[in-house]
Structure 1
Amino acid sequence: MLKLGFAFIIYISIVCFGNAANEAKLPIHFPKAEILNKYTTRIPFKLVDHLIVVEAELYNKKGMFIIDSGSETMILNKVHFGKTYHFHRNTNKVSGVNELIDYSYKKRIKAFDLNGFKLENKISDVIDLSHIETSKKIKLLGVIGYNILKDYEVFIDLYLNQITLTKVDKKGNKLNNKVYLEKIVDSLNFSLKKHTIVVNGTINKHKVKLGIDTAAEFNQINKSINKKALKYFIPKKRLKLNGVSNKTIRVLAGKLHRVKLNDNVYFGPMYTVLTNLNKMNEVFGIQLDGILGYEFFAQKRTIINYQKEKLYFIDYPLNTQ
């Protein structure tokens, strides 16, 4: 089952189309990317609400891609590619940004050119992302997920609004060590459950298991979590959240305090929603107590190394004003 980042989860179905298998050998281009060396590129991004999006071009179409560490594969938006290109029907259920989707289509991208980095034979799922496109007011070509990101060490920098990708070997060692000018100040081990980053931590000293997802616009905490941890969720208001299937759910939003991942990695109060994560846990196949998304990256300049299953952290510059 394909899995993507989410702020909340809603089931929808999509009508199938096409079953031919034509494959075009056209690359994706990132026009604003900067090549740092043979193995490293830096791509500026912008935040659309709390989603990280990069400008790209695919099949002569220009638009935006969401960077989603919670997505198992690359995804193309059927709105822009469904009428011209042919795809295989995907018989498995998949999940999408903010939702689960019953059916999708498969497309093999023979050449994925990341402004100089060429990846061969990557599979892309094709689904209807029109509601995200409408709600975010962007031309959304698709989503870049785990099957692209895993081959790189990925530096998500919300201070400079840029993502740095540097090629690694099978053991996670960078092919060029002259990448970061900034000093790495701490690190943290994680476990990779299929493609999902899972960390152990505490909330008010109560042990929790948390997923980390670059496309989660809101941190989430499970309603069923221990009351000792919920004591430090301070509710502020109720929100109505609209999913890409146009369904609405009501959640309790507030600030979550006393979150620590180890003795050195801890957080200030984080904007969080209290919700039911049962459906999400079915998808992940693991009992998660919550999801850390935008608020996590807003406080931590974070490097992800999938092969080593390790997070590295770089400090924000001190504000001297």
Structure 2
Amino acid sequence: MQLFATEVNPTEESPPIIFSKAEFINAFTTRIPFKVIDQLIVVEVEILDKQGNFIIDTGSETLILNSAHFKPTRKYKQEGRNKSGVHKDIENVKEKYLDLLSIKDINLKKINADVIDLSHIEKIKKIKVLGIIGYSILKDFEVFIDMHLNQITLTKIDKNGDRLSDKVYAETMHDSINFTLKKHTIILDASIDNHKVKFGLDTGAEYNQLNKNIDSEILDYFYPNKKLKLTDASGTTMQVMAGKLFKVKLNDSIYFGPMKTVLTNLRKMNIAFSTNLDGILGFEFFAQQRTIINYKKQKLYFIKFPIIAP
């Protein structure tokens, strides 16, 4: 997949952004292989003369560039503004303006990228992180996250969420559910042993998160076994209790086995995004469900894992 980016008032033409190893299915659809690094979905990218990795993160509102590798455009609207992270405000966020982002023949114009220091992620993960691809890019596509084949399929959709090509998936969708969109956050109605809960869905969450202030009857289904240190996008590190969460269901036919989960405080995120979430479903969700996200229709579709003979 080739993307082309130019700054506003550039001094010279910028080179293309290239998603390495992408496979073009048709004029509206491309498949991008990804690596799983510490339960993060990572794609290889070449952008503005640099080569490295981008994290696919539906929990991020924007396209983010790592300030360790990119400088903001000289003229930006709000110097030193703050953005809200899950646990703490991210300070001194600047912007970089991209005139055009093109996925082969699919053009996304006037793209803004936040420029944030992500060097702490590089240090922890021991990889070069050029940035994060978030909602502002993904919302214009139907996004199939396939943990069976380790690939993401992006297909362009119209304003109603209908695919511009009907020749996209070889597989058959077996179920679907509606979600609500609060700003950029996907919110799912779910249950834990018949107790109703609301979860946010976030591909950038290495572990599921459960609000430690949740009803004690629900906490009975969280089995702690160790302590972990978590670091969020602001670089804030905290110690949390980790374990497994049992008996999570989206409906009578979509349910999950025990999922690695951490107990944390989601108050900051709930205030920032005006939500009232009981938890976050992340990598563990996608590891158990081959999932298609359609932001325009506000629906998730599911494709079965193949049955492998013993």
Instruction: Compute the TM-score of the two structures, normalised by the length of structure 1.
Output: 0.89
CA spacing shift, 1:25–1:104, aligned 2, 3 Å: farther
How far off its partner does 1:244 sit? 5.8
How far off its partner does 1:190 sit? 0.1
Q: Distance in 2 between matches of 1:318 and 1:100?
A: 45
How far off its partner does 1:95 sit? 3.8
How far off its partner does 1:100 sit? 3.4
Q: Deviations over 1:69-115 (max 9, x none)?
A: 111110111111128x5351445421458863022111111121334
Aligned-partner SS, 1:29: strand
1:86 counterpart residue number: 74
Residue number among 136, 147, 164 corresponding to 2:125 in the alignment: 136
1:105-184 mapped onto 2 (5 Å cutoff): 105-184=94-173
Which amino acid letter does the alignment assign opposite residue 80 of structure 1? H
How far off its partner does 1:67 sit? 0.6
Q: Deviations over 1:51-78 (max 9, x none)?
A: 1111111111111111111111101111
Aligned-partner SS, 1:295: helix
Which amino acid letter does the alignment assign opposite residue 297 of structure 1? F
Q: Distance in 1 between matches of 2:102 and 2:120?
A: 28
Which amino acid letter does the alignment assign opposite residue 132 of structure 1? I
How far off its partner does 1:31 sit? 2.5
Residue number among 201, 212, 223 corresponding to 2:190 in the alignment: 201
CA contact (8 A) 2:122 2:128 kept: yes
CA contact (8 A) 2:85 2:234 kept: no
2:4 counterpart residue number: none
How far off its partner does 1:21 sit? 6.5
Residue number among 193, 202, 210 corresponding to 1:213 in the alignment: 202
> Are 1:241 and 2:230 matched, yes or no?
yes
CA spacing shift, 1:246–1:35, aligned 2, 3 Å: closer
Q: Distance in 1 between matches of 2:305 and 2:220?
A: 29
How far off its partner does 1:251 sit? 1.0
CA spacing shift, 1:275–1:140, aligned 2, 3 Å: same
- With 27-36 and 211-220 compared, the bigger mean Cα shift is at 27-36
Q: Distance in 1 between matches of 2:196 and 2:93?
A: 37
1:1-321 mapped onto 2 (5 Å cutoff): 22-23=9-10, 26=14, 27-82=16-71, 86=74, 88=76, 89-90=78-79, 92-95=81-84, 100-243=89-232, 247-321=236-310
Percent same amino acid at aligned positions?
56
How far off its partner does 1:260 sit? 0.8
- With 299-308 and 128-137 compared, the bigger mean Cα shift is at 128-137
Q: Aligned pair count?
A: 301
Which amino acid letter does the alignment assign opposite residue 86 of structure 1? R
Q: Deviations over 1:262-304 (max 9, x none)?
A: 1111111101011111112112211100000000000000000
CA contact (8 A) 1:28 1:114 kept: no
| Residue segments in structure 2 that go unaligned for 5+ positions in a row | 1-6
Q: Distance in 1 between matches of 2:153 and 2:105?
A: 14
CA RMSD of aligned residues (A): 2.0
Aligned-partner SS, 1:210: strand
Aligned-partner SS, 1:28: strand
How far off its partner does 1:206 sit? 0.8
| Residue segments in structure 1 that go unaligned for 5+ positions in a row | 1-19
CA spacing shift, 1:257–1:87, aligned 2, 3 Å: farther
Q: Deviations over 1:20-58 (max 9, x none)?
A: 965476442112111000100000000111111111111
How far off its partner does 1:305 sit? 0.1
